[in-house]
Amino acid sequence: MKSVKVKSPATVANLVCGFDILGLCLDNPCDEFTLSLSDEVGVTIENIDDYDLPTDATKNVSGVALLKMLDQEKDIKGFHLISKKIIKPGSGIGSSAASAAGVVVAANHLLGNKYSKQQLVDFAMYGEEIASGAKHADNIAPAIFGGITLIRSNHPLDIISIDYPELFLTILHPQIEVKTADARNILPKEIPLINAVTQWANVAGLVTGFMQHDYDLISRSLEDVIVEPYRSTLIPHFYEVKNACKESGALGGGISGSGPSMFMLSKTAEIAVSVELAMKGVYGKTGIEFHTHISKVNKNGVSLK
Amino acid sequence: MKSVKVKSPATVANLVCGFDILGLCLDNPCDEFTLSLSDEVGVTIENIDDYDLPTDATKNVSGVALLKMLDQEKDIKGFHLISKKIIKPGSGIGSSAASAAGVVVAANHLLGNKYSKQQLVDFAMYGEEIASGAKHADNIAPAIFGGITLIRSNHPLDIISIDYPELFLTILHPQIEVKTADARNILPKEIPLINAVTQWANVAGLVTGFMQHDYDLISRSLEDVIVEPYRSTLIPHFYEVKNACKESGALGGGISGSGPSMFMLSKTAEIAVSVELAMKGVYGKTGIEFHTHISKVNKNGVSLK
C-alpha cells in the first residue's frame, strides 16, 4: 500500500509584536507521521507515543484535517495514520499545528501534490480549530511554508513568505499549563489607538529588519506593547528571564504563541547557548520544572523523511 | 555671501494603513528656498510668493527649524532665507514639512554637511510642531530621506528607508479646508483589538509588497480599517473617487496625510493618467473646485537646485 513518512516541525507564532499575523518554523522538535492510503472508509489512527490522543478521527487534530481532504476526493476511500507526537501538546510551540500540517502535506504527496501550500494551510486549519476553538493559521502557515510567514488575511487566506538572516532560537518551556482560551480571554477587547500605532510601527520594523537582514533593527522592533503586558502575567518570572536573556546577547524575544513557552532570537549559535544558560540560571532557582532547547529557523517546513 | 538653493518636495504621509508611520516623497510640486549665511543675528525671511506667511522667524515653520539649528552653532550669527512656497499650505501633501525640511537641508550644506539625515529630521520637526501642534516626522522623513520611509519610533527617532518598485501617484486636491486638529479629533481614542490586528497585518503586507516589488500584494494591503472610516467623512465624495480610481486600474490609495488631498498609486504612467481622468470625472460634477496632478516617487528628497 502506498505510504509516506513526514517530519512535522514545531513553530513559534506571533514573534512578539506580530500578534496573530507572524510565525516562524523551527528545526526541532518535529513530530513524525506515516500516512497510507487505506481501503477502509474514513481515517484510522494508530498512536505510537505516550500522549494518549484520541483515535476517533473526528476528535483528533490530524484526523479532522484528513477528513476535510477526504471530502474533496472521489477516488480515495480513506487514510491510515501512524502518529508519533514528539512536540508536547500545550507547550506553546505549535503542537496541534504540527499534527494538522504534517498529515495534510503527507496526504498531498499521496495525492500527487495536487494542492498548493495555501490550500494545504486551509485544510489544516480545520484541525487547528478543534484544538484551539479558532481557525488560526499563525502556526500552520510557517509549519507548511517553512521560514518566516506573514498572514495578511485569514479570510481569504493570504500568506506571504518573508526573507530573513541567519537566526538561532532558544526556547524555554516551563512545565506549567496556560490554556489558549485563558490567554485569549485575558486580552482587552479595545486598545488605545496610540499603542496600536506603536505596535504597527514595530511590526513594520520587524518585517523590514528580517528582509534587510538588519539585526539591530530586528532587535529594536522586538517590542510588544499590546499583548505581552497581559499574557506575561501567566508566565512566572517572565521579565526576569527576558532581561537575563537580553543581557546575555539575545536580540529579543517573548512569549511563543499563547505560552507557556518563551523564545529568544540570537544572531549566532554561541549567543543562543549563552541565552540558554541565562534561562537555566533564572528558572533553576524557581522550583518550576522546565526544558530548554536551541533551534535554527527551518526553511523547508514539513518534509519527507 | 555663501548661499545655497534647494528644491523641497511635497510628500504623502500615512499611505492608507500606515497611519503615523509611513510616508512617501513626491517628484512634484516642490518649494524653492535660497539660504545664505548672514551677519545679522537670528533668521531673516523674505517671501517671494503670494501666501503671506509670517516673516517673524519664531512664527514661521522654516524659521523655527533654522533657529533650532542656530542654537547649536557658535561660529554662525544667522541665516537669511528667500522662501518661494509652491506647495499650497493645508493641502495635505506636506507643505509645512517641505518648509522645514528644505531649509534644514540647505543649512546643512552651508555648515559642511555635518549633520546626518536623521539629525536633520529632528531639527525640522520643531518647525512641523508650530504648524500642526505635534512633532510628527511622517512628512519630514520622506522629504529628507526621499523614497518611502518608515518611522519605527518618534522618541528616540528611528527612520528606515524602504525599497519599492516603480510607482506613479495621482493626486486629487479638493479646494476645501480640513484642519489637522479636526482630522485628529475625529479619531477614536480606543479601537477594537481585532481591527488593530487587521491593520498591522496590512501594514506588514504593504511594507513586504514594497520590498518584494509585488504590486498585487501592495494592492491587497492598501486597506485602512482604523482611520479612513472616520476621516473619509471630511472629504466629500471620498468613496466615489476611490472606487472610480480602482476601476480605472489604480492599485489603491486613500487620504494623503490628514487630507483634504487624496492619492492613488498606479503601476504605470498610463494608468496614472486614467486614474486622473476618473478623479476629474467624479469631482467635475460636484461643483467643488479641485486640482489634480501626477507624480513619480522622488528617491532623493530635498535636492540642491
Nearest Cβ partner for B208 among A150, A189, A200: A150
**CB spacing of B204 vs A150 below 8 angstroms:** yes
B185 lies within 8 A of chain A by CB: no
- The reply to whether A21 touches chain B by the CB within 8 Å rule is yes
- Chain A residues near residue B191 by CB distance under 8 angstroms: 190-193, 196
Distance from CA of A279 to the nearest CA of B (A): 29
- Among A18, A189, A208, the residue with its CB nearest the CB of B162 is A208
CB atoms inside a 10 Å sphere around CB A86: 17
Cβ of A202 within 8 Å of Cβ of B151? The answer is no
In the prediction, which pLDDT does A182 show?
86
- Return d(Cα A231, Cα A178) in angstroms, integer: 10
CB–CB contact A204 B199 (8 Å): no
Q: Which residue of B has its CA nearest to A195?
A: B190
Q: Which of B21, B192, B203 sits opposite A189 (nearest CB)?
A: B192
Query: Would you state the pLDDT for residue B190?
Result: 98
Q: Which domains does chain A have, with CATH numbers?
A: 3-163 (3.30.230.10), 168-296 (3.30.70.890)
pLDDT at B83: 98
Q: How many CB pairs under 8 A join A and B?
A: 119
Arithmetic mean of pLDDT over chain A: 96
* ipTM value for the complex: 0.96
Distance in Å, alpha carbon of B50 to nearest chain A alpha carbon = 37
Tell me the average confidence (pLDDT) per consecutive run of 10 residues in chain B, 305 residues long.
93 98 98 96 96 95 97 94 96 96 98 96 95 87 98 96 98 92 92 98 98 98 98 97 98 96 98 98 97 98 95
| Residue B41 distance to chain A (closest CA, Å) | 40
A202 inside 8 A of chain B by CB: yes
Predicted confidence at residue B1, as pLDDT, reads: 65
Q: Is B180 known to be catalytic?
A: yes
Catalytic residue among B11, B149, B170, B180: B180
Mean pLDDT (whole number) for A49-74: 95
Q: What is the pLDDT of residue B134?
A: 80
Nearest residue on chain A to B200, alpha-carbon basis: A200
Chain B nearest-CA residue for A161: B208
Q: Which pTM value belongs to this model?
A: 0.97
Does the CB of B134 have a partner CB in chain A at under 8 Å?
Answer: no
Q: Do B160 and A19 touch (CB under 8 A)?
A: no
**What is the per-residue pLDDT for A1?**
66
A193 closest CB neighbour out of B190, B201, B221: B190
Confidence of residue A305 (pLDDT cuts 50, 70, 90): confident
Q: CA A302, A35, A157: angle at the middle one, nearest 5?
A: 45
- Side by side, the strands of the sheet bearing B252-255 are B252-255, B262-266, B168-174, B290-296
Q: Does B158 touch chain A (CB under 8 A)?
A: yes
What is the arithmetic mean of pLDDT over A131-144? 90
B220 to A188: CB separation less than 8 angstroms, yes or no: no
Residue A133 has pLDDT above 80, yes or no: no
Using pLDDT thresholds of 50, 70 and 90, give the confidence band for residue A181: confident
SS (H, E, C) chain B: CCEEEEEEEEEEECCCCCCCCEEEEEEEEEEEEEEEEECCCEEEEEECCCCCCCCCHHHCHHHHHHHHHHCCCCCCCEEEEEEECCCCCCCCCCHHHHHHHHHHHHHHHHCCCCCCHHHHHHHHHHHHHHHHCCCCCCCHHHHHHCCEEEEEEECCEEEEEECCCCCEEEEEEECCCCCHHHHHHCCCCEEEHHHHHHHHHHHHHHHHHHHCCCHHHHHHHCCCCCCHHHHHHHCCCHHHHHHHHHHCCCCEEEECCCCCCEEEEECCHHHHHHHHHHHHHHHCCCCCCEEEEEEEECCCCCEEC
Whether residue B203 lies within 8 A of chain A, CB to CB, comes out as: yes
Kindly name the residue from B11, B32, B34, B128 that is annotated as catalytic. B128
| Minimal CA separation from A282 to chain B, in Å | 31
For residue A226, the chain B residues in CB contact (below 8 A) are: 193, 196
In three-state form (DSSP H/G/I as H, E/B as E, the rest C), the secondary structure along A183-205 is HHHCCCCEEEHHHHHHHHHHHHH
Give the model's pLDDT for residue A108. Answer: 98
Chain B contact for A187, CB < 8 A?
yes
Tell me the residues of chain A between 207 and 236 that have a Cβ less than 8 Å away from chain B: 207-208, 211-212, 217, 220-221, 226
Mutation choice for A interface testing from B138, B189, B207 by most A CBs within 10 A: B207
The pLDDT of residue A135 is: 81
